[in-house]
Amino acid sequence: MSDNEKLYKSLFTSLVYTLNMTAMQQLGQVINPMTGRAEKDPEQANLTIEMLKMLAEKTRNNLAADEESFLKQIIDQLTAHYNMPGKS
């Protein structure tokens, strides 16, 4: 794997992780570091989840197996949290 490919793999993972943490914060699962409180914003969480789904669609057949698996796992986990009873 070239240095450029390693960089892109790392950047892709960081992007997905950042969107994951954003959605978890929007779902009230992670403390907002600015306020020190868990805050829920289901509409924004849904938009972030949809961004990840769009990313998965746009990168289909263009990711390494581990990248694809990581992205799918994140989407599945966030969707499960979003659909939990009493989420709002």
87 pLDDT higher than 70: no
**pTM of the predicted protein model:** 0.89
The dihedral through the CA atoms of 16, 36, 47, 77 has a sign that is: positive
How much of the chain is in helix, strand and coil states, percent to nearest 5? 65, 5, 30
Instruction: List the domain boundaries for the chain.
Output: 14-82
pLDDT tens for each residue of 50-79:
999 999 999 999 999 999 999 999 999 999
Phi/psi at 36 (5° precision): 75, 15
> Residues 27-48: what's their mean pLDDT?
94
> Residues 17-22: what's their mean pLDDT?
97
